[in-house]
Structure 1
Amino acid sequence: MTRGIHRYPPMERVIYGIPLAEALAEEIARLDAKAVYVMASGTLNRTTDVVQSVRDVLGNRMAGLCDKIASHTPRIDVVKAANEARAAKADLVLTVGGGSVTDAAKMVGICLGNDISEPEQLDTLKAVITPEGKTRRPPTKAPTVRSVDVPTTLSAGEFTAMAGCTDTVRNIKESYAHPLMMPQTVILDPAVAVHTPEWLFLSTGIRAVDHAVEDLCSINPTPFSDGMSLQALRLLSSGLPAVKNDPADLDARLNCQLGAWMSIMGSQNGVTKGASHGIGHVLGGTAHVPHGYTSCVMLPHVLRFNEPVNAERQRWVAEALGKPDGSAADAVAALIAGLGLPGTLRDVGVKPDQLDEIAVNSMHDRWVHTNPRKIEGPATVRMLLDAAW
């Protein structure tokens, strides 16, 4: 008999298909926000009118703007933004951008709730992975300021209560969590995502595919996340090629956004991921590979490694991707290749002399320890890296 508990996340609303200005005006009024600190992609601010449209909606409720969050959310950038938001007496954070900006807003909330004003103070709140692979999270006070997120990519971090934040001194990306780090509202407007560079939109779409695949193939899946993950793969496997073919296809972009949302449902309920995510975190923090690309280069190889222990569930993946007669690994690899995305570590700039460090650091990531097929140590990770080389 199937047993479990489904937890509804502390997110109030997901608004989809409604233009940003209309949706944002309604949310600001509903939340009665008086001082909104905006965090936006720098490129989006410099080269489009999206941030100006946000200014027009907020008017004198706009309490400040940060458009200088680097990739992988460096903690020096996070703390600087938190100090600005504190000085502005912000009562809401609004993000417009990709995963690094989204995670930064979560970290700003944590900094404000825990009186963090220097980067080194974040050491007291980061997760620690034990040698046995258990995750220990120190007591963390709730964010005192929450967020409304307008994502422009498909990595779906805006739907989780966790954030990755990089210590650039040690070159390691670390994990932080609190249930109320999750935004109050997410606004999905495909017209805003038109400005996202093609490589970034499509590769983060593969990141969403990775979420759905590793949830389906997890050691602790749930019926709810199974259904959501299968539909996510159907939407993404049709929507991503359609966007590649016609970047102005807003219906296809919205399907991708909906697929990304559905892909993350398992994460909201404790479904554990595997080595594609675990190694991917380290490729990002240590080798500076964009997260979408980490999934492109690792997911097919992790699927092949895991097939001996979860072949039946991998067949579900292949079917949802429209390849019922093939393997899940081949179906994912074909989707990646068809989008013109990189397929090897060489393609994404990883150097041979980084592989051992990546292998060792990967053993400190929680998802490597919950991979369906046990990973005994750095040598096994190195084997997967060599396969992806």
Structure 2
Amino acid sequence: MHKGRVVFGAMDEVVFGRPASEALVEQLIRLGSTRAFLMVSGTLNRETDEIENIRRGLGPRCAGTFDAMPPHTPRAAVIAASEQARAANADLIVTIGGGSITDGAKAVQLCLANDIRHPDDIDRIRAGRGASPQLTAPTVRQISVPTTIAGGEFSAAAGVTNENTKVKEGLRHPLLMPRAVILDPWLSQHTPEWLWLSTGIRAVDHCVEGICAREAHPYGDAQALMGLSMLAQALPRVKADAKDLDARMDCQIGTWLSTGPLASGVPMGASHGIGYVLGAEFGVPHGYTSCVMLPSVMRWNKSVNADRQAQVAAAMGHPNEDAGDVLDAFIRNLGMPRSLREVKVGPEHFDRIAQQAMATPWVPRNPRKIEGPAQVREILELAA
């Protein structure tokens, strides 16, 4: 018998298939916002006129722009953005960019509400193991216009990297979830191909680990299976033709659906857990971590969830084939890296990665029980 609970997040709406410049004006009017602070991709701001067009559309409602968020959302940049938003007296944050910017704005929400003004003070708001800190709820919320497809804009959690320890730390609060997400396929045409396709594999990873989890349930499955099917068909179409807006839209909707399991309480597994360590410790881009880890995690897990893995292969259009092999070929055909060696992580690091992966939230929830670092090493060796 299934049991569990599904908590509906604090998001009001998702707008898809419309230009962000139009949809944002409507959202600001809906929310009564008069001082929107933009946190945007530096590349989009400096090398295209997209951000300038949006600023023009918002007119006097735009209270400032921050465009200097590095990958993996380092603490110092979060503080810099918070100080600028505070000085601008922002009543809303609008993000236009990838996951690091979306996460950065979530962190800024907590910094503004909890008077965090120095990188070290982030210790006071980060989620510890076990009990979370007492947080003042954010009052300045956010709207997100994602330009990559890892799906972080659909969650109430953020990852911020502590530059001193090189560890990506979690921040959590129900109100970190954006009030609205705008999926604009036109804007995504500026995203580099490798970034679009690799974050797309991140979304595939959400679907796959959600379907394969011990705690999977029909509500999460319905979204993940549909999302996986859409992504499996649309990602190769974008690779074949970067201007295929229908394929881009399908990728964006597939990504939205991919977050269904996690948003409804289904844990991720070892691919996500090991990926956290590869990102924070070795600077491997978010999407690449899934490209190199997911097929190996599937092969290692197969002895305990072959029936669920069969559903993955079928949703990807390859019924009766091995899901690890299907994913391996799919990722390769998109031209993405498929081994730790290709992302410059050698066996001399495996012990340290295995040790750190045990401390992530997901490795202990992997469908096939991982008792200790030695078993993480087995997975890393499969992915070497």
TM-score norm. by structure 2 comes to: 0.98
Matches within 5 A, 1:75-86: 75-86=75-86
CA distance in 2, matches of 1:30, 1:345: 47
CA distance in 1, matches of 2:365, 2:136: 27
Task: Kindly indicate whether the alpha-carbon contact (under 8 Å) linking 2:110 and 2:125 is maintained by their aligned counterparts in 1.
Answer: no
Matches within 5 A, 1:123-272: 123-129=123-129, 135-272=130-267
Q: How well do the aligned residues superpose, as a CA RMSD in angstroms? A: 1.1
Q: Encode CA deviations 1:102-123: one digit per residue, 9 max, x unaligned.
A: 0001000011111111111111
TM-superposed CA distance for 1:63, in Å, is 1.2
TM-superposed CA distance for 1:381, in Å, is 1.3
State the match for 2:338 in structure 1.
343
TM-superposed CA distance for 1:45, in Å, is 1.1
Number of residue pairs matched by the alignment: 384
Task: Kindly indicate whether the alpha-carbon contact (under 8 Å) linking 2:5 and 2:265 is maintained by their aligned counterparts in 1.
Answer: no
TM-superposed CA distance for 1:5, in Å, is 2.5
The one-letter amino acid paired with 2:112 is L
Q: Where in structure 2 are there 5+ consecutive unaligned residues?
A: none
State the match for 1:42 in structure 2.
42
Q: Encode CA deviations 1:257-292: one digit per residue, 9 max, x unaligned.
A: 000000001111211010000000110001110110
State the match for 2:5 in structure 1.
5
Task: Kindly indicate whether the alpha-carbon contact (under 8 Å) linking 1:287 and 1:354 is maintained by their aligned counterparts in 2.
Answer: no
TM-superposed CA distance for 1:7, in Å, is 2.0
CA distance in 2, matches of 1:26, 1:128: 38
CA distance in 2, matches of 1:355, 1:51: 42
CA distance in 2, matches of 1:13, 1:254: 17
TM-score norm. by structure 1 comes to: 0.97
2:366 corresponds to which of 366, 371, 375? 371
Task: Kindly indicate whether the alpha-carbon contact (under 8 Å) linking 1:306 and 1:373 is maintained by their aligned counterparts in 2.
Answer: yes
Matches within 5 A, 1:278-357: 278-357=273-352
State the match for 1:132 in structure 2.
none
Identify if the C-alpha distance between structure 1 residues 15 and 78 changes in structure 2 by more than 3 Å, giving closer, same or farther.
same
TM-superposed CA distance for 1:3, in Å, is 3.0
Matches within 5 A, 1:93-104: 93-104=93-104
Greater Cα offset, 266-275 or 377-386: 377-386
The one-letter amino acid paired with 1:97 is G
Matches within 5 A, 1:21-36: 21-36=21-36
State the match for 1:17 in structure 2.
17
Identify if the C-alpha distance between structure 1 residues 312 and 149 changes in structure 2 by more than 3 Å, giving closer, same or farther.
same
The one-letter amino acid paired with 2:37 is Y
Is 1:119 the equivalent of 2:124?
Answer: no
TM-superposed CA distance for 1:48, in Å, is 1.2
CA distance in 1, matches of 2:117, 2:346: 35
The one-letter amino acid paired with 1:270 is G
TM-superposed CA distance for 1:141, in Å, is 2.1
Is 1:61 the equivalent of 2:61?
Answer: yes
The one-letter amino acid paired with 2:55 is R
1:253 is paired with a residue of what secondary structure?
A: helix
TM-superposed CA distance for 1:151, in Å, is 0.2
Q: Encode CA deviations 1:18-45: one digit per residue, 9 max, x unaligned.
A: 1111111111111111111101111111
